[in-house]
Structure 1
Amino acid sequence: MIIPGKFDEIRPFVPEELPLVYERLLADQQFLQVVKAVFPDAPLEALKQQMYSCKTLLDFQKTFFYGIVHNIMKKSGNGFELDAPSLDRNSNYTFVSNHRDIVLDSAMLDVLLIDNKFNTTCEIAIGDNLLKLPWVKDIVRLNKSFIVLRGLPMRQMLQASKTLSEYMHFAISEKKENIWIAQREGRAKDSNDRTAEAILKMMTMGGEGSLIEKLQKLHIVPTAISYEYDPCDFLKAKEYQQRRDMEVFRKGPQDDIISMQTGIMGYKGHVHYCAAPCIDDFLSGIDSETPKTEIYRIIAEHIDKEIHKNYHLYANNYVALDFLKGTSDFADKYTAEEKARFEQYLDGQMAKIDLENKDEAFLRERMLTMYANPAINYIKANA
C-alpha cells in the first residue's frame, strides 16, 4: 500500500521501517534501562530476537504490549472487560471515548479488541506534548499511534488539523484500521465527560461528501470507560488547587511523566469498557438543512448521552454522590463496608497531596466530584 508522503510526520511506522527503528531503540541506553525494568528476567538477546521477528505493528503489539498490559492489570487492577454487542468484529470503527488515563485507556482497548476477536487493534491519536523523548516517540509509533501536533501558530494548526483528519479517513477507508481518539483534548479532570465539538470539526476537515457523510465514513462508536479507582485522582485534585491559587499555573515538564507512571502503577480496581452502537444510523436521521453549528452540537450531545448511559457504576460512585450531597439517597447501592472502604481510600489519597497551603475541604470536594459525576450523568442519561 502506498501511503501519501504528507502523512510521514504523524503516521505510525510501516513494516519496511521496522528494522531501522529496532536498531535505533536498541542503541538508546534509556530505552534499554526501561526494557530491563519491564522484563527483568528476560535476556536482552532473546528480546532482540523477538523484536526483529515482528514484521508488522500488530505483531509487535501482540508480542510485547499485549502481555505488558495484562501484567499491569494483574498487579494493579481487578479485571477489565469490553461489552460491544452491536459491533461487527470484521468492520472498522473510530472509537470516541471519555479519557481517564493517559496511557492505559487506549492500551487496554487494544488488548480487549484482541481478546474479543476483532480483526485488528486501533491506531491511537496521541498529542506530541507527550513525546519529548525520541525513544518514546518511536515506541508509540510502534504501538500504532498517530501524532496530533499541538502548540502551533494558527495557520499551521489549521493545516495540521486538516492533515490529521485526512489521515484518519485514510486509516479507516484504505488501511482498514480502527482508530481510538479521546472525546476532547486532555483528560476530564472532574470526570464530567463532554465531547468537544472541535474534535468533530477536525474530523470533517478531511474526507469527501457532506459533513454528515464525512462523519459516517469514520463509523464513530461512542465508548464509555469506567475505572473503579482513578490512581491519578489526587494529582488531578492537586492541580485544581494549584490552578485556583496561582494566577498563572503551568504544568512542569515532569507532570505528564508522573501522571503516566502513577496511572500505570497505581491501583485501578475493576475497569469496564462499553462500546455503544455505531452512530451512522443516527447521523442519517439528522435533517440535511440543519445549520452546521447545530449539527456539531447535536452529534456531540448524542455521543455524550451514549457514553453516559453506558458507564459501569461502582459502589464508589454512589458513595461519593451521597457524601457530596450530604444525603443517603443511594444507600441501597452500597454496603456499610464499601462505604467505609471508600472513605479510607479517600483519606489515603488525600495524604499523598503535597501542597504548602493544603485546602483539605476543597481537595476532598474535588475528589468526591470526580467519582460522583459519572453517577450524576448516568442517572440523567438513563432517566
Structure 2
Amino acid sequence: MMEVEKMEFEDIRPLHDSEVKEGIGRLLAVKEFRGMVEYAFQGMIPFEKVEEQLKRIETVKEFQSGLITKMLGFVIQKTSDSFTFSGLENIEKDKAYLFLSTHRDIVLDSALMNLVLNDNEYETARIAIGDNLVKEPWINDLVRLNKSFIVKRGRQGKDKVLASMQLSSYIAHSIKTDNESVWIAQREGRTKDGIDKTQPGLIKMLSIAGRKDPVNHLRSLNIVPVSISYEYNPCDAMLLPELLAKSEDREYVKSPMEDLMSMMKGIEGKKGRIHLHFGRPLNDFSENLKNVNGEKFVSQVVSLADHEIYHTFKLWPTNYIACDLLIGNQRWENEYSAEEKATFEKVMTQRVASVEGNPDKLKELYLKMYANPVIMRMTETNEEN
C-alpha cells in the first residue's frame, strides 16, 4: 500500500500563490460568481470595481484580505446583530494548530474563524471541506483560493482507506512541515440536534499519519477546540425534516440541491448574535493524557475536546428559553426577557408551520435543537460533581 509520507496532495490541496491569477481569471468568467459577489456587497461596491481589484491580486493572502474578509464584513453587518470572539490569548501567532470546531453552518464557521485570525494579524487556517460541496468547478476554484482543501466523502473499501490516509497525511504535513494551521469540523456534517460531540473516527483518522507513534503524533498536531454559536440558526426549519425522519427511524434522503440551499440560507439568513471562542490547546491538559495509548487515548482526546467545547460554547437567551419551554418550567428565566421569549416563540411558530409533519413533534425537535447546548453543559457539570 502507498506510504503515507509519500502520498501526493495535488487533487485535494488549496491553490498555490503561483496559481492565483489563473484561478481568479476562471472565476471572473463565471456569471454565478458575479452574482454571488453582487449579492454579498448589495450594490455598495460595483462588480466592475471588485473585478479591477481582483485582477491585481497575486497571492492567496491578498485574495482573502482583498475579497473574502470584505464580503464577510458585509454579510455580518446585514445578517447579524453582533459578532464577538474570545480566547485568542490561548494561541500563539507563530505556531500552527489543528482547530477542531463545532459545526453549525456549512460556510461561516470556518470563514468567521479565519476572519478573526486575519483581522488580528494571525495566519489564517487551511479549511477542510467535503467534496459534496464543491461539485461546481467555479466553487472548487473559489474555496481552493480561500485555502480550502478537499475531503473525499462517500468512498468505500480500499478507496476509503486511501482517502483517509491522504487526508491524515495532508493535515499533518500542513501543520508540521508547512507550519499552516488547519480548521476541521469535529464531526462529518453539521450538528443538527444541538449536541456538539466529537466523532472518535475523526480522531482515529488524524492519527493515521503517525501510525508508528499515534499518541505523540496527535499531541504534535496542537489540537485546539473552537466553538461558534449563533443566537438563531437560519437553517433551523430546513433541518427539521431530517430530524423528524431520524426520530421516526426512517431513512432521510437529501434533495440534489439541499446542500447548496443550506449554504445560501446560512449566509443570507438572520442570525441574531454570533460568538466564537478559541479553547485551550488540549496539550495544556497533558496530565489527563499520561500513561494512556491506543483506544484509550482517542477517547481521552474526544472527552477533553468535548469538555472544552461544552464549557466555552456561548449560550444565548434562545437556548435558555428553549430549555424552559421544553421542560416546562422557568429555571432559566433570569437569562432572558419577556420580549426575547415572545420573539423566540413567534419565530418558532412560523418556522415549524413551514414544515410538513406532526406539529407537536416538530415543535419538540425545534426546542431540543436550541435547548441541547444547555442540557449538555448541565449534564457534564453533574457528572463532574
If the TM-score is normalised by the length of the shorter chain, which range does it land in?
over 0.9
Q: Deviations over 1:326-381 (max 9, x none)?
A: 1112222222222212111211222332x2xx211111111100111111122334
Aligned partner of residue 151 in structure 1, secondary structure: coil
How many angstroms apart in 1 are the aligned matches of 2:335 and 2:33?
46
Structure 1 residues 32 and 336 mapped into 2: Cα distance closer, same or farther (>3 Å)? closer
State the partner residue of 2:100: 96
Question: Is residue 261 of structure 1 aligned with residue 260 of structure 2?
Answer: no
Query: What is the TM-score with the length of structure 1 in the denominator?
Result: 0.93
Structure 1 residues 35 and 74 mapped into 2: Cα distance closer, same or farther (>3 Å)? closer
8 A Cα contact 1:317 1:371, kept in partner: yes
State the partner residue of 1:377: 376
Picking from 58, 67, 73, the partner of 1:70 is 73
Q: Deviations over 1:33-63 (max 9, x none)?
A: 3334334454544333322322221210110
How many angstroms apart in 1 are the aligned matches of 2:17 and 2:371?
45
State the partner residue of 1:366: 365
Query: What is the TM-score with the length of structure 2 in the denominator?
Result: 0.92
State the partner residue of 1:202: 205
Q: CA deviation at 1:241?
A: 2.3
How many angstroms apart in 2 are the aligned matches of 1:251 and 1:208?
36
Q: CA deviation at 1:209?
A: 5.5
Structure 1 residues 209 and 80 mapped into 2: Cα distance closer, same or farther (>3 Å)? farther
How many angstroms apart in 2 are the aligned matches of 1:209 and 1:283?
20
* Unpaired segments ≥5 residues, structure 1: none
State the partner residue of 1:233: 236
Question: Is residue 323 of structure 1 aligned with residue 322 of structure 2?
Answer: no
How many angstroms apart in 2 are the aligned matches of 1:75 and 1:36?
14
* Unpaired segments ≥5 residues, structure 2: none
How many angstroms apart in 1 are the aligned matches of 2:112 and 2:379?
28
State the partner residue of 1:303: 305
Aligned partner of residue 322 in structure 2, secondary structure: helix
Structure 1 counterpart of 2:187, one-letter code: R
Task: Report sequence identity in percent.
Answer: 36
Aligned partner of residue 368 in structure 2, secondary structure: helix
Structure 2 counterpart of 1:339, one-letter code: K
Name the Cα RMSD after superposition: 2.0
Aligned length: 376
Picking from 62, 83, 86, the partner of 1:83 is 86
Show the 5 A alignment for 1:85-234: 85-118=89-122, 120-207=123-210, 210-234=213-237
Per mean C-alpha deviation after superposition, the further-off stretch among 257-266 and 241-250 is: 241-250
8 A Cα contact 1:309 1:377, kept in partner: no
Question: Is residue 336 of structure 1 aligned with residue 322 of structure 2?
Answer: no
How many angstroms apart in 2 are the aligned matches of 1:332 and 1:66?
37
Aligned partner of residue 339 in structure 1, secondary structure: helix
How many angstroms apart in 2 are the aligned matches of 1:266 and 1:37?
13
Aligned partner of residue 289 in structure 2, secondary structure: coil
Q: CA deviation at 1:78?
A: 1.2
8 A Cα contact 1:95 1:179, kept in partner: yes
Structure 1 residues 333 and 74 mapped into 2: Cα distance closer, same or farther (>3 Å)? same
8 A Cα contact 2:98 2:184, kept in partner: yes
How many angstroms apart in 1 are the aligned matches of 2:342 and 2:46?
45
Q: Deviations over 1:236-287 (max 9, x none)?
A: 1122224556844310111111111111111111111111110113246423
How many angstroms apart in 2 are the aligned matches of 1:5 and 1:49?
38
How many angstroms apart in 2 are the aligned matches of 1:337 and 1:133?
43
Q: CA deviation at 1:4?
A: 7.5
8 A Cα contact 1:310 1:378, kept in partner: no
